[in-house]
């Protein structure tokens, strides 16, 4: 598995070096289009996904790929997540809005699942060159150094609640609760970076509403393997094959419960 971990990391770095970074701040008007209200896609997203998907299939010849842009073109590809074999999940540029606007953060993410169970995850920050990886049962590493989160939660709370897609009733509750959070962060519009910031201790929690697998499967495994927790808002586990909404990631169980009680009770 170690060879595969390294090979996927190299593949993501190749995509960053040959497709993503050369396009950053050099997109022409026709290189960006709106694929849904308020959401854009760029030529770099599509090219990077093709490069990554082809590389992943070469690493595991019998594997399948579920990529964000592939699903945008053919939603039926989501059904592949239920296959019993090896399935790759790819987000070629997480934080495309930032990327298209010419600023960071943005990330390149990949995950491997078998029978719907997460096996490994990779999140590359192309601007910083930082690579975070996790393997189920073997921990999380950031640039080769193991990340271990504290198991207590007695200090000040620092984190973000991404409210754009929250239903009105939950949004009102969350906004009231945020007044009791010690430091409320504005949100980075890049789920991959939010998860890595939890793993590295830059923030304690993040609340999401939409839970698409390419946005959350890699980060969920990273946080969990570092000792953190990621649960649905009712406390149930995140199921990447499910249709549920709402996800709260935190540095540990005590922090999760504290944030949940503050924002959602």
d(CA 217, CA 247): 11
pLDDT above 80: residue 154: no
Who wins on pLDDT, 155 or 169?
169
| 173, two tokens | 């509750």
DSSP structure class, residue 204: S
d(CA 66, CA 6): 21
| Tens digits of residue pLDDT in 218-229 | 999 999 999 999
| Tens digits of residue pLDDT in 56-109 | 999 999 999 999 999 999 999 999 999 999 999 999 999 999 999 999 999 999
Give start and end residues of each alpha helix (H) in 28-167. Answer: 43-59, 68-73, 96-101
In the prediction, which pLDDT does 222 show? 98
Bridge partner list, 130:
125
Confidence class for position 232, pLDDT limits 50, 70, 90 = very high
Bridge partner list, 141:
133, 146
Percent of the chain with pLDDT over 90: 91
In the prediction, which pLDDT does 196 show? 98
Confidence class for position 244, pLDDT limits 50, 70, 90 = confident
Query: Domains of the chain by range and CATH?
Result: 2-147 (3.30.540.10), 158-264 (3.40.190.80)
Confidence class for position 265, pLDDT limits 50, 70, 90 = confident
In the prediction, which pLDDT does 153 show? 67
User: What integer is the mean pLDDT of 14-20?
Assistant: 98
d(CA 240, CA 220): 10
Of the listed ranges 144-148, 161-165, 211-215, the one predicted with least confidence: 161-165
Percent of the chain with pLDDT over 70: 99
User: What integer is the mean pLDDT of 139-151?
Assistant: 96
User: What integer is the mean pLDDT of 104-133?
Assistant: 97
| Tens digits of residue pLDDT in 183-215 | 999 999 999 999 999 999 999 999 999 999 999
d(CA 139, CA 136): 7
pLDDT above 70: residue 33: yes
Question: Within 10 A of 110 (CB to CB), how many other CB atoms are there?
Answer: 29
pLDDT above 90: residue 242: no
* Counts of helices then strands in the chain (DSSP H, E): 9, 14
| 191, two tokens | 């789920």
């Amino acid at each position: 598995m170690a060879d595969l971990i390294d090979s996927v990391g190299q593949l993501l770095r190749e995509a960053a070096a040959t497709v993503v970074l050369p396009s950053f701040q050099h997109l022409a008007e026709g290189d960006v289009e709106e694929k849904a209200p308020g959401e854009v896609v760029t030529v770099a997203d599509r090219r990077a996904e093709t490069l990554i998907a082809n590389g992943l299939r070469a690493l595991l010849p019998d594997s399948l790929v579920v990529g964000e842009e592939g699903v945008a073109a053919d939603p039926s590809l989501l059904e592949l997540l239920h296959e019993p074999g090896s399935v790759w999940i790819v987000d070629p540029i997480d934080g495309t809005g930032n990327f298209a606007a010419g600023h960071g953060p943005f990330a390149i993410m990949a995950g491997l699942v078998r029978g719907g169970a997460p096996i490994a995850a990779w999140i590359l920050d192309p601007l910083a060159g930082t690579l975070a990886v996790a393997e189920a049962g073997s921990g999380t590493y950031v640039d080769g150094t193991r990340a271990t989160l504290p198991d207590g939660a007695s200090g000040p709370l620092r984190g973000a609640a991404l409210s754009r897609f929250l239903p009105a009733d939950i949004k009102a509750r969350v906004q009231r609760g945020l007044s009791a959070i010690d430091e409320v962060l504005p949100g980075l519009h890049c789920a991959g970076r939010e998860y890595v910031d939890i793993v590295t201790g830059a923030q304690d929690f993040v609340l999401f509403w939409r839970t698409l697998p390419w946005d959350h499967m890699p980060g969920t495994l990273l946080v969990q393997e570092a000792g953190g927790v990621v649960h649905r808002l009712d406390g149930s586990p995140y199921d990447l094959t499910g249709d549920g909404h709402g996800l709260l990631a935190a540095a540990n169980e005590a922090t999760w419960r504290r944030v949940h009680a503050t924002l959602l009770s």
